[in-house]
Amino acid sequence: MTQHVSSSPRAALVVLSGTWGAFWGTWSALLPAVLERAHATPGELGLVLTAVPLGAIPAMALVGRIAVGREHRVLLLTTGALALGIVALSSVSGLGGLGVALFLVGATSGALDVCLNAATARAERISGRPLFQAVHAAFPVAVITAAPLTGLARQSGVSIATVLLLCAAALLGSALPLLGQAAKDHARRHTDPAAPAAPHWRSAWLWGAAVGVLGGCLLVVENAVEQWSVLLLEQDKAASVVLASAAPAVYMAALTVSRLVVQRLPRLRTRDLSVLAAVGGCGGFAWAALAPTAEASLAGFAVSGLAFGPLMPALLSHAGQQDASGYTVSVVSAVSYGAFLISPLLVGSLTNWMSLPGALACLAVMALPLLGAAVGAKVRPDWRQPRLRHEPMQRSPS
């Protein structure tokens, strides 16, 4: 029998994910103003923006080990650190200071990502109820909501600093409901003999990296949608500025819908979701790249988002079920995040040899690892089982 967990901590994780997504949606909408304030060219700003993944990847690899058994406590600390990074970001103007602030924001945001996934995995294990799909649905909803609201704020004359300080305050406020869970983490580590032991680190890394690569295949395509879809529709599909700018929102909205649907259908197997992502996700994205009209491309992005949406949360959920310490979830998060470095470099390199639509269509090759994993899971259903210590089943006093 699983232990009862109140809905409040579970809801707090969803709210925190949404607030975190709202910051990134706000930041994307602030980039034109940031470019103007820094007196930089788009190329210079693009180079400085790479500080975000450069800070995130090592932080994600490090904090996962620290957070074992104390997920909520470290989640609170990383949320506070991200808020401080946002405050620093609000006060810098030059490219040098901007790069340092973005490195700090990237590192703390990456750490928050890992801790949020680890805390969600623990909530799923203890309650026996799915949560990853809801937590991961909150992020894109907040992104597509915050971006236009930020645009309205800019149009009304609100400064960059004010907008970012509001983001920092909202982030801190959303973390406050987790104080109780953080205290329970501390008490459990000192008094509960059934607290999860540390995993077998090598097994966690090997298995987590393999699952993380599958997640990275999704994020390579997702990052391409975020980075290139507007340019694709404007330059190659003759779309208006307004229509072209809808492409990332269409993809994110479809992503959210599919996650909320699968949240209600928890018995869908990860193997089936892998096939769906390979066929529908990569196929829809290839169609979006090569479609003759902007409207057809938008339909392709919608199909791709619907098919891709549930798989990443499902991979993280499965990793959390197999490793009670939560460390493997952290490895999956860190490895998959590398896609945000690989994707722009890959598409940029391909455009040296072919058109942008052709370069984007080439990303459909990411379907091959997803199909291979689905076939491997069917042939050897125990391939997913890492050599890890499992959390003892928690029984009620009755």
DSSP structure string for 210-245: HHHHHHHHHHHHHHHHHHHHHHHHHHHS---HHHHH
Same domain, yes or no: 138 and 247: no
Structural domain ending residue among the three candidates 186, 215, 242: 186
For residue 396, being part of any structural domain is answered with no
Check the CA dihedral 113-86-30-21 and report its sign.
positive
Tokens found for residue 173: 């406020």
Q: Quick check: 379 pLDDT over 80?
A: no
pLDDT reported for residue 377: 64
Percent of the chain surpassing pLDDT 90: 35
Q: Which residues contact 391 (CB under 8 A, 6 or more apart)?
A: 125, 194, 196, 324, 325
pLDDT per position as a tens digit, 331-354 = 888 899 888 888 888 888 888 899
Q: Quick check: 124 pLDDT over 90?
A: no
For residue 10, being part of any structural domain is answered with yes
Domain residue limits at 89:
1-186
Average of per-residue pLDDT across 322-329: 77
Same domain, yes or no: 231 and 108: no
Structural domain ending residue among the three candidates 128, 151, 186: 186
Same domain, yes or no: 290 and 377: yes
CB 273 within 8 A of CB 245: no
Same domain, yes or no: 171 and 210: no
Question: What is the rounded distance in angstroms from the CA atom of residue 243 to the CA atom of residue 253?
Answer: 15
CB 74 within 8 A of CB 67: yes
Same domain, yes or no: 207 and 158: no
Across 36-40, 86-90, 103-107, 381-385, least confident range: 381-385
pLDDT reported for residue 193: 45
Cβ atoms < 10 Å from Cβ of 255: 29
pLDDT reported for residue 286: 95
Using DSSP's 3-state secondary structure scheme, residue 396 falls into coil
For residue 266, being part of any structural domain is answered with yes
For residue 394, being part of any structural domain is answered with no
Which of 238, 230, 219, 210 lies closest to 31 in space, CA to CA? 230
pLDDT reported for residue 341: 84
For residue 271, being part of any structural domain is answered with yes
CATH number of the domain bearing residue 131: 1.20.1250.20
Q: Quick check: 273 pLDDT over 70?
A: yes
pLDDT reported for residue 108: 95
pLDDT reported for residue 285: 95
Same domain, yes or no: 129 and 64: yes
With cut-offs at 50, 70 and 90, classify the pLDDT of residue 100.
Answer: very high
pLDDT reported for residue 156: 86
Across 216-220, 261-265, 374-378, 387-391, least confident range: 387-391
CB 53 within 8 A of CB 99: no
pLDDT reported for residue 7: 52
pLDDT reported for residue 365: 94
Average of per-residue pLDDT across 34-51: 79
Same domain, yes or no: 170 and 242: no
CB 86 within 8 A of CB 105: yes
pLDDT reported for residue 5: 42
With cut-offs at 50, 70 and 90, classify the pLDDT of residue 55.
Answer: very high
Q: What length does the chain have?
A: 398
Average of per-residue pLDDT across 269-274: 87
pLDDT reported for residue 327: 80
For residue 397, being part of any structural domain is answered with no
pLDDT per position as a tens digit, 228-257 = 888 888 888 888 877 887 888 899 999 999
pLDDT reported for residue 344: 83
Q: Quick check: 13 pLDDT over 90?
A: yes
Element (H, E) at 397: none
> Count of domains in the chain?
2
Average of per-residue pLDDT across 45-62: 86
CB 150 within 8 A of CB 29: yes
For residue 395, being part of any structural domain is answered with no
Ordered DSSP codes for 90-142: HH--SHHHHHHHHHHHHHHHHHHHHHHHHHHHHHHHHH-S--HHHHHHHHHHH
pLDDT reported for residue 241: 74
Structural domain ending residue among the three candidates 186, 214, 237: 186
Same domain, yes or no: 210 and 150: no
pLDDT per position as a tens digit, 166-192 = 999 999 999 998 887 766 665 555 554
Mean pLDDT of the residues in the chain? 83
Same domain, yes or no: 139 and 207: no
Same domain, yes or no: 204 and 82: no
Ordered DSSP codes for 272-334: HHHHHIIIIIHHHHHHHHH-SSHHHHHHHHHHHHHHHTTHHHHHHHHHHHH-TTSHHHHHHHH
- Unique residue bearing structure tokens 């040296």: 352
CB 21 within 8 A of CB 138: yes
pLDDT reported for residue 251: 93
Same domain, yes or no: 209 and 139: no
Same domain, yes or no: 84 and 213: no
pLDDT reported for residue 383: 41
For residue 195, being part of any structural domain is answered with no
pLDDT reported for residue 106: 93
